[in-house]
Structure 1
Amino acid sequence: MAYLLILGLAVLALLTGQSSANYEYQTKYLDVPLDHFSYVNESVTFKLRYLTNDTYNPDGSGPILFYTGNEGDIELFAQNTGFMWELAPKLKASLVFAEHRFYGKTLPFGNASYESPRHLGYLTSEQALADFAYLLAQINPSNRTVRARPVVAFGGSYGGMLAAWFRMKYPHMVTGAIAASAPIRQFDTDCGVFNQILTSVFSVAYTKECSLNIGRSWDVLKNYSSSADGLKTLNEKFKFCSNLTKAEDVTGTFFDYLIDVYGNLAMI
């Protein structure tokens, strides 16, 4: 049945086409356990953010389209997952977008979430899936007299992997899953292969010196980021929409942008 449901959704998506989706949602929080698999910290919780829209399912009887949040602010995914918004009115479904722990506003240790390996030990896909299952148990309960509503998980890239795993690990809660561009078999490949290929592209398409210069540029940019004068120079040279004001703006935001640029250039 799950396979038929997924196939039916895919066909329906082709028939609906593009529509002017109304991306409105309520922001909610739920206290979830920090560690789902240990008795040591079972009383420690944090607030998981999730977004809901019941416009197309006012009586609460229809299916739930559940987005398994990945590495980023959940609002960005909610505003860029039109497929779910197109399906919701056709299926009379509720929409739920759950944020991944340690991202967006779902920070188990607040601003200190990334400061300690002890904290980051709780950043795993297993814990994130358990968060989603815990959330579903609260918003979609079932018992001997009430049957839970069918749930279809959605996700893309890492989120797609989570959607597939969610269906596999919690089949009693998730009826089906649509995993878009989910590199589930990526684990057979060395994680460094992609960057090695990018480097070879610049060496072959241009010159070896080109790829070497790109490699040297990271240290140069780091040096500029360490002083006010250096940051000023970068702002003047690159003419950013918003000025870089601290080293983290360079080694974080700017580096991420450059990595995307080099990756896309190599694939053109």
Structure 2
Amino acid sequence: MSRTFGVTRRRAVAAALTVAVLAPLTAACGNSDDSSAAEGRTTLKVLAAASLTDVFAKAADAYHKEHPDVTVKFSFAGSQQLAAQVNQDFPADALVTADTRTMDGLHGKTGTPRIIAKNRLVIATAEGNPQHVTGLKDLASTNKLKVVLAAPAVPVGRYSKKVLDRQGITVQPVSQEQDVRGVLSKVELGEADAGIVYATDAMTAPDKVDAVQVPDEQNAIAEYPAATLKVSQHQKEADAFVKWLGGAPAQKLLRDAGFQKP
């Protein structure tokens, strides 16, 4: 009788210890599930051209207010850098480039692109335009100005080369940057006298740079296509965001930032 009682007691103690060990784990798992269910949120990662940095920060806030269960996070870089990430199947949900050429080169990696905005080129100079730059001709290497351009692989660099070649102007840049913000920064810091950027980028630094307009007949128009990515784990939400970029709220933000209608 005492042996039976001893075995029973040992089993009871073992069972109690098992419950004690498992209880915290069960509680932790329960809290994790409840937390996930309570959040019920989707985070979209969007790869976007560097020239969209400021306006898309506002777009993220505006979209979240309209869609509280969706948070949009951006990764900004030159369009050619973004394309390289997409080609490597980088985990993201949507892409916005500063030219159609880059987007078209990603056929099979994206959904159907839609143009959400347009842009144009200006010449950025130091505040007050101390070198008295009046147009593209002043950027010629014979004029001894320190000029910075984006690299030819970058959309704004390609646009810049196009407008300069059309005018028969040869420029020997002091540097070739990997995105348009790099060009703007060089001018802001006084490391260059002038650089070709998008009109919208010059608008982000009104107290640091002046914008010299390029006439329409000499200019190039940049188109910004947006598309979902095939690797996205949130296709429905990504499609909705890309569609939203073409709607009235996003278009107003883009117009206010200086972008042109699609």
TM value normalised by structure 1: 0.23
Give the strand-richer structure, 1 or 2: 2
TM-score, length-scaled by structure 2: 0.23
Higher relative contact order (CA 8 A, sep 6+): 2
